[in-house]
Structures are given as structure tokens and as C-alpha cells.
């Protein structure tokens, strides 16, 4: 007998399965409903929740509304007004387009939809859907717009309802979603009410004001604008100054064509633009919108549509990184990349106006590069080193203080709070780096003429690399008596360099160029200072007499940023007396 064991799933079961993809928790419902209101061109959107969305999630808008016919279609699977033909998929102007959200949500909740698409009447149509089944249809008073209420989410799937987290966790997720949507849609008024309390009341405003309304007035002083226009992407928005970087990813927002997205690649671009300004373990904050032609992105790769693919991913990465650096530089936070426009003397540290206090840069000064801590296994949190570098007050040069060296690598000393361990090579690099940078950024460059011009022994390929830096080299005091495709002859140099090793410096620039060092530098001056600090610093092991140890310590703590090397490595560590007492020798 011919029999079949394969059956088509009933529609409501199919929808419940689909709901697994779309609806993970109350915040997923919030996202879908808010997006629908935005797609409906609403000017006012009210989000009302009870018990962190477990009892009620309601969104009321004044958008285009739905006809009586559309109301009865909208909760069916693949019902959408946003795509008419497959080519529409490649030119998306809407947040949603799959026609899956309402059907999925309706299948796992009790939903009420009231809508009116006519501004001449105040009578709308209402339907109630229980676990995907239409149970009521009537008229109800409503101005033009739509109200959708989702009650008792997952009431018919106890396993999923039990899986929901505490109210505070679910509320957190809802607020996150609310931030993502309301930030970028700042031209819309939003209200969020939880258990009768108005948590947010955001008036239509410019982007900056929306950020401040959400993240507090204190964010005003943290924001640095970004505005970059290219022929394949426009980037605009704000980044936080490096001082405000945090150990948790508090405010990281990328939007593409006004849609919140997550993207590791872009995050990496921002992070690397902050390199040297914040510690590795810290996260920069940003609010950045990318405008790209719709046909150069693919939003279809993730069901929740928070991940997208760019056709020009590499170029966007590069533009983003350089514009973040540029903004950090423009606002005097770090040097500017300005290879094209010739030389601009952006001083990374504002030497002229700075008293030698220590910068507020949030580097993790607790990081210990030395083995000692691993051996004794103290947790960093247990170490009372929360005090800043300002406590490391080394006495004046003339007064002697104890110090000694171990392994030709570390200088050990003490201050009022404890034992100080310094990596001498990194310290030396920092001292030199700041010295070079100061020289390069200073107003008058020293230049010393050579009686006999030096002809550099370089290949054509190498000369071509140097050509890229020619104007910069001139700006820091070099003069060329000859500069052709096959020959470079130097007639003057900056006496900060050692004449004997000038050719070596050129090799260094070329080599580091090949190793991409300059790509992570914030400016040519920064790049040169790094190159030279590396080549001039003492090798990893070098014995130092007491006097040399002392001047190393004094020079280091006279630096603007004594805690990290120009290559972002920790220079010193303080082991507080307290932790020696309580931990190490307990
Ligand atoms: P999608 O947004 O992917 O089209 P949804 O399931 O989210 O699918 O919504 C289905 C349809 O219901 C939408 O295409 C739209 O026509 C209609 N709709 C949903 N919410 C609203 C709203 N707030 N205002 C007007 N129409 C809406
Ligand atoms: Mg939708």
C-alpha cells in the first residue's frame, strides 16, 4: 500500500518554529515593533511595557496606518507591504522586509492590532490574535496610526517563557534596543514607559542632542565629531575622547543607512585608530552612521539583520580608521594624519600649554609585564594600585633614592606606596620618543649643514619609499642636494640624529615602512619618533650604573605618558606595600 509519513506542518506550528529565529525575548519584539513604526513613517512613537515586557509590550505610532484589509493580512507569514518584486530586495529602504515578524510574534503571544490609515476619521479597526489564531474583529476609536500590543509573550510555550531572565535583565535588553533605534532616528519623538514610569521622553532633535539626552549631559564634553565624505561611503557621527574609554563596551553604535549593525571589522578599525591612546583592554565609545548605496550592502545574511556585508569592506575600514584618527588629531587629542597636505605640526601632546602633570589617558596601569606576579599569583584586583601615577613622586635628581638593576633589563626602585619595577628598554623608548616628537613638533627645526654631502646607498625601490616621506623629512631638518629616481644626496640633517648612523636611519624608515609601522602611527612625526626611539634605545639588556638608573627614572616620570612605550607596552608596575604585607609575604 502506498502511504506517506511526510506531512506538511500546520501553519501555526510553522510560525512557532519561525518565531524561534525572530523572537528570542521581549526586546526582540520591541525591536520589530519599533522598526515597523519607523517604516510606517511615524513622527511619534510610544513604547509601553509592563514587567519588562513579559506581561505587555505595546507600541503606538502615528504612522501611515493599515486598511481594514491589511490588518487582517499583516500577521500572516510572508505578509509584507515592503517588497513587491525580487529586485526590491537589493534596494531596501525599509527596516523590515521579510514579512515574518508579526506572524512570528503573533504565534507565541496574545496580540491586539488597532490601526487607522485615514486622517479624516478617528475610527480604526481592531483585531485580536491568540497564538496565531484570529479571535476578534471590531471597530475601535483611534486616530491615524497603529497600536500593536503583545501580551503574555510565550504563554503557549512554557519552556521558552521559563527561559526568560529576571525583569532587570530583560529590561536592560529592551533599553539597549530602544537606544539603538531611538539614537539614529533622532528626528522622531520617542517615549518609553515601564510599569507606568516614563523612563525616556525624547524630543525630535539633532543627533548630538539625542546622544546627550540618552547618555546624559556629561557626554557633551566627551564627544568629538566625525564627518567624512567619499564617493562610496559617507561617515558621520561622534566618537568619545580617549580619556573616556571604559573597560566595558558601554556605548558602541554603528549604523548603516540608519540601521543599527554589529561589525567586528569596523570595530577593529576604530580600536586601532585609538592605538597608543587607550589601553588594549579598554573600549572606545562611538556613534557612527555609514551612508552607502543600498546596492553595495547585503543585509540578508542574518535573521535579525544586525550583521551586514559590505561590498567595499576594505576601503570602508581604511576610511573609518583614518577619519577617526583625523578627528582625534583635529581636536588635539592625538596627532593628525596629513600626508597629503604637506606638513602640519599637530603636537600630540600640547607641550607649550602643559604643566608636567600626568595625562588622564585611561591606560591600565595595573598590568604587570613581569613574571614575579605570575609566580606569586596575585589577582590584579587585589593589588591596591588604583592610585594614579601622580603618586609616583620620585625625589629630585639631587637627592638619592635606592635603585638597583636585575638581569640588565629591569630597574627596581621604591616610592612612597611601594616597590616600582621598570622595564628599562621600554622606558628608554618612551623618553626618546617624547624627545624626538618634541623636536619634530617644535616650531624651529634644527638643521646642520654637511661639509661633504652624504650620498645614500639605496636601491631605486628604496628611494621610491623615501620619496613618499621627502617633504616630511625636509620639515624635520633634512636637506637634499640631490633627489632623483636613482640617487639621494643629503646636504643637511637635524643634529638630533647621530651623523654616523644617518644611513641606518634611512634603512630603518624603509624597513618599518615595509613592516607597516607607519600605518599604525597617527602622523608622520609620530611615526618618525617611533622609528627613531626604537633604533636609538638601548638594547634589551644593558647594565646601568646607579647614576644612569636615576636619570632613567627621572626622565621617565618627566614624560607625558610614562606608563606605556611608543609601541603600547607597559613600562612599569608598582607593587604596593600593602600587597607585599597582605599577599606576597603573608
Ligand atoms: P515586514 O516589516 O518585514 O514587512 P512585519 O511582519 O513586521 O513584516 O509586518 C508586516 C506588515 O504589516 C508590514 O509590511 C506593514 O505593511 C504592516 N505593518 C506592521 N506594522 C505596522 C505599523 N506600525 N504601521 C503600518 N503598517 C504596519
Ligand atoms: Mg517588520
Contact between 239 and 226 under an 8 Å Cβ cutoff? The reply is yes
Taking the C-alpha atoms of residue 1 and residue 3, their distance in angstroms, rounded to an integer, is: 6
Strand runs labelled E in 335-386: none
Q: Check residue 443 and give its pLDDT.
A: 61
Taking the C-alpha atoms of residue 503 and residue 454, their distance in angstroms, rounded to an integer, is: 9
- Tell me the CA–centroid distance for residue 36 and ligand 1, in Å: 5
| Greatest C-alpha distance within the chain | 107
Contact between 118 and 68 under an 8 Å Cβ cutoff? The reply is no
Q: Can you read off the three cell numbers belonging to residue 333?
A: 587629542
Among 36, 37, 60, 127, say which to mutate for ligand 1: greatest number of ligand atoms within 8 Å of CB: 36
Residue 281 CA: distances (Å) to CA of 244, 247, 284, 317, 362: 13, 6, 10, 21, 10
Among 44, 102, 148, 299, say which to mutate for ligand 1: greatest number of ligand atoms within 8 Å of CB: 102
Q: Check residue 88 and give its pLDDT.
A: 65
- Tell me the CA–centroid distance for residue 121 and ligand 2, in Å: 26
For ligand 1, atom 27: residue with the closest CA: 36
Atom number of ligand 1 nearest to Cα 104: 6
Residue 21 φ then ψ, to 5°: -80, -45
Taking the C-alpha atoms of residue 421 and residue 300, their distance in angstroms, rounded to an integer, is: 53
Taking the C-alpha atoms of residue 33 and residue 22, their distance in angstroms, rounded to an integer, is: 12
Which residues is 297 bridged to in the sheet?
Answer: 310
Among 39, 43, 84, say which to mutate for ligand 1: greatest number of ligand atoms within 8 Å of CB: 39
Contact between 220 and 294 under an 8 Å Cβ cutoff? The reply is no
Contact between 284 and 271 under an 8 Å Cβ cutoff? The reply is yes
299 lines ligand 1 (CB under 6 A): no
Contact between 355 and 269 under an 8 Å Cβ cutoff? The reply is no
Q: Is 91 helix (H, G, I), strand (E, B) or coil?
A: coil
- Tell me the CA–centroid distance for residue 10 and ligand 2, in Å: 23
Contact between 401 and 395 under an 8 Å Cβ cutoff? The reply is yes
Residue 503 φ then ψ, to 5°: -65, -35
Contacts of 123 (CB under 8 A, 6+ apart): 116, 139, 140, 141, 142
Q: Can you read off the three cell numbers belonging to residue 92?
A: 531596501
The DSSP annotation for 183-223 comes to HH-TTSEEEEEETTEEEEEE-S--HHHHHHHHH-GGGGGGE
Taking the C-alpha atoms of residue 344 and residue 347, their distance in angstroms, rounded to an integer, is: 9
pLDDT averages per 10-residue partition of the chain, 586 residues? 73 74 91 96 97 96 96 88 68 72 94 97 96 95 97 92 88 93 97 91 94 85 91 94 80 93 92 88 93 83 71 92 89 42 34 36 35 28 33 43 88 84 92 83 72 83 83 84 88 80 79 63 73 77 86 86 85 88 85
Taking the C-alpha atoms of residue 264 and residue 307, their distance in angstroms, rounded to an integer, is: 10
Amino acid at each position: 500500500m502506498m502511504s506517506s509519513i511526510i506531512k506538511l506542518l500546520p501553519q501555526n506550528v510553522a510560525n512557532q518554529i519561525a518565531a524561534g529565529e525572530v523572537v528570542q525575548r521581549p526586546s526582540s519584539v520591541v525591536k520589530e515593533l519599533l522598526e515597523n513604526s519607523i517604516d510606517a513613517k511615524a513622527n511619534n512613537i510610544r513604547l509601553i511595557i509592563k514587567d519588562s515586557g513579559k506581561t505587555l509590550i505595546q507600541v503606538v505610532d502615528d504612522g501611515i496606518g493599515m486598511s481594514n484589509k491589511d490588518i487582517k493580512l499583516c500577521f500572516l507569514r510572508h505578509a509584507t507591504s515592503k517588497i513587491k518584486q525580487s529586485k526590491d530586495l537589493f534596494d531596501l529602504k525599509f527596516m523590515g522586509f521579510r514579512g515574518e515578524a508579526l506572524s512570528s510574534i503573533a504565534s507565541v503571544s496574545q496580540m491586539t492590532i488597532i490601526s487607522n490609515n485615514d486622517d479624516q476619521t478617528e475610527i480604526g479597526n481592531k483585531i485580536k490574535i491568540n497564538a496565531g489564531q484570529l479571535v476578534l474583529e471590531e471597530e475601535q476609536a483611534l486616530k491615524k496610526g497603529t497600536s500593536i500590543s503583545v501580551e503574555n509573550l510565550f504563554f503557549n510555550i512554557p519552556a521558552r517563557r521559563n527561559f526568560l531572565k529576571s525583569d532587570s535583565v530583560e529590561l536592560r535588553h529592551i533599553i539597549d534596543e530602544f537606544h539603538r533605534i531611538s539614537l539614529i532616528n533622532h528626528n522622531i519623538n520617542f517615549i518609553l514607559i515601564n510599569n507606568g514610569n516614563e523612563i525616556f521622553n525624547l524630543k525630535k532633535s539633532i543627533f548630538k542632542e539625542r546622544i546627550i539626552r540618552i547618555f546624559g549631559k556629561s557626554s557633551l564634553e566627551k564627544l568629538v565629531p566625525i564627518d567624512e565624505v567619499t564617493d562610496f561611503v559617507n561617515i558621520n557621527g561622534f566618537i568619545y575622547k580617549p580619556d573616556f574609554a571604559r573597560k566595558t563596551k558601554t556605548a558602541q553604535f554603528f549604523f548603516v543607512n540608519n540601521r543599527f549593525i554589529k561589525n567586528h571589522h569596523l570595530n577593529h578599525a576604530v580600536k586601532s585608530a585609538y592605538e597608543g591612546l587607550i589601553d588594549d583592554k579598554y573600549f572606545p565609545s562611538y556613534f557612527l552612521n555609514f551612508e552607502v548605496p543600498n546596492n553595495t550592502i547585503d543585509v540578508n545574511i542574518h535573521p535579525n539583520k544586525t550583521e551586514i556585508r559590505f561590498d567595499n569592506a576594505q576601503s570602508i575600514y581604511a576610511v573609518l580608521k583614518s577619519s577617526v584618527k583625523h578627528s582625534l588629531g583635529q581636536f588635539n587629542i592625538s596627532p593628525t594624519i596629513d600626508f597629503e597636505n604637506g606638513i602640519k605640526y599637530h603636537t600630540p601632546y600640547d607641550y607649550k600649554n602643559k604643566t608636567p602633570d600626568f595625562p588622564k589617558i585611561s591606560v591600565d596601569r595595573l598590568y604587570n609585564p613581569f613574571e614575579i606576579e605570575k609566580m606569586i599569583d596575585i589577582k590584579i584586583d587585589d593589588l591596591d594600585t588604583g592610585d594614579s601615577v601622580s603618586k609616583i613622586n620620585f625625589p629630585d635628581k639631587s637627592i638619592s633614592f635606592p635603585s638597583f638593576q636585575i638581569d640588565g633589563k629591569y630597574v627596581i626602585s621604591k616610592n612612597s606606596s611601594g616597590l616600582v619595577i621598570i622595564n628599562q628598554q621600554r622606558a628608554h623608548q618612551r623618553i626618546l620618543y617624547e624627545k624626538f616628537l618634541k623636536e619634530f613638533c617644535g616650531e624651529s627645526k634644527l638643521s646642520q649643514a654637511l661639509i661633504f654631502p652624504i650620498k645614500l646607498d639605496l636601491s631605486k625601490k628604496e628611494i621610491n619609499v623615501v620619496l613618499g616621506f621627502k617633504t616630511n623629512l625636509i620639515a624635520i631638518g633634512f636637506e637634499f642636494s640631490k633627489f632623483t629616481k636613482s640617487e639621494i644626496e643629503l646636504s643637511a640633517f637635524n643634529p638630533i640624529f647621530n651623523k654616523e648612523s644617518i644611513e641606518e636611519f634611512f634603512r630603518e624608515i624603509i624597513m618599518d615602512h615595509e613592516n607597516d609601522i607607519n600605518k599604525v602611527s597617527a602622523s608622520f612625526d609620530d611615526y618618525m619618533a617611533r622609528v627613531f626611539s626604537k633604533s636609538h634605545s638601548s638594547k634589551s639588556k644593558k647594565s646601568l650604573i646607579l647614576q644612569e638608573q636615576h636619570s632613567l627614572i627621572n626622565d621617565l616620570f618627566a614624560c607625558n605618558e610614562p606608563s606605556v612605550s611608543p609601541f603600547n607596552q607597559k613600562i612599569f608596575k608598582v607593587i604596593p606595600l600593602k600587597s607585599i604585607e597582605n599577599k606576597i609575604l603573608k
